[in-house]
Each structure stands twice: as C-alpha cells, then as structure tokens.
Amino acid sequence: MKAQATKHRLALASALALLLAASVAAKKEDAKKDEKPPDRPIRVAVMPIVNGSSEIGATKIMEDVLRDRFKEVPAERATFLLPPDTERILTDRNVFDRAYSLNDRWSKYGTLDSTAVAGLDSLLMVDAILFAMVAEWDNVRVNVVGRGESNTTVGLNFALYDLKSLKKTWSKTPREQRFAQEVDPTGQVTYDETGYIQSRKATDPPRFEDVASDLVRTAFKKFPSK
C-alpha cells in the first residue's frame, strides 16, 4: 500500500511539474508575441535645397552645413540621404522633374505635391522626405565709425513629410540676425576724417557658415525618430 501511495504521489508531482512547465512556456511565448520589434531609425531623403535668396553660393554652403550637422543626429534616431545623393538617384532614374515639382509646390504654398511624391519611398528607399529652403541670406558691412555693427542674417525653412501618410510630421523656421562687435574708434583701427574705416578686416560681418551651422544644430536637436 505504501508503495502504491508513493507511486501515486510521484505521478501527481510529475504531472503538476509538467503543467507548470507548460504554463511558463506559454507565458513566455505570449510575452514574445507582445514584445514590440525594436524601432529602426527613420530614413530621410533631403530634397535639393530651395534657394529663396539672391546669393547663388548659399546652396553650396547649406549643403556643407547640413552634411556636417546631420552627423550630430544620433544614428539610432535618423539617417539622411543628402541633397546631392537624392538628386543623383532621381536623375539616374529619369525622374528628377519630380524634385522640381515637389520643391515648387512646397516653397510656394507649404503643401506636398501628392502626384510627384507617389512612389518616392520605393525609388529612394526612405521613410520620409525633408524640404530645406534658404529664406534669408544677407550681410551688411558697416564701414563708418559710429554707424553700428556689421551683421549677417540667415533665415531657413524645414519641413518633414512622412511618405506613407503624406502628412507633415515636423517643421522648423529658424532665423537669426547676428551682429559683429562694433568697431572701437579709440582702438587700433585706422579711419579717415569722414570716419570711413580703412581696416577692412575690422568690419567683417559674421560668417554665413557660422550662423547657418548654429541654426541647423539647434533646429535638429529634437528631430523625430519616426
């Protein structure tokens, strides 16, 4: 009798152990199903820069600024296809006219050309497109003592559009007028009787590169990851 009871207890314990193991395994399987796949960085194609200023060189400077500043955006947040690369891919596929249409509609009306954007996610292998525009690009050199400071003004517009929903998910319009230090007439600066400053370097306005770079760095600090 004792032997049978012992066998019974062992069989019961074994069955309970099997049920417990099955329950734990099922919970682990359910947990795996509930787990979200790790977020991948958003892949963004930057459209050719729209130059709304009269300075032809603004586009090249902005391309260089964007290339450098995008390196500061964490790779786990976003990766960027730079304007020259976007242009090259679209040109190779004989659809660069779409870039013109998209930039024209956005820069004039602030909206997305739904016809021109169709299929760009597949063509460029991206999740979103980023528009960039130079709205202001100007500097003033003050050559006369007492007339104020030389200065540089940069205004930029950015807009990000998701290529699935075709909705704008992020935008920034940074602008800054930065002043140089006013020339001290009592310092080591030569000027004539009219107050015209002879030392040209002393009247240099802030560099466009520096102003634009700081604006982009600040604007992209909170760039979306999806």
The ranges assigned to domains in the chain are: 1-32, 42-222
Domain 42-222 has CATH 3.40.50.10610: yes
Quick one: residue 110, left, alpha or beta (phi over 0 = left, psi -120 to 50 = alpha)? left
Both tokens of residue 186? 């009592």
**CB neighbours of 12 closer than 8 A, spacing ≥ 6?**
none
> Which residues of the chain are under the pLDDT cut of 70?
1-39, 145-147, 182-202
From the CA atom positions of the chain, what is the Rg in Å?
30
Residue 222 confidence (pLDDT): 87
Residue 214 confidence (pLDDT): 97
Residue 185 confidence (pLDDT): 57
The predicted model scores a pTM of 0.78
Burial class of residue 172 (count of CB atoms within 10 Å of its CB; 0-12, 13-18, 19+) = middle
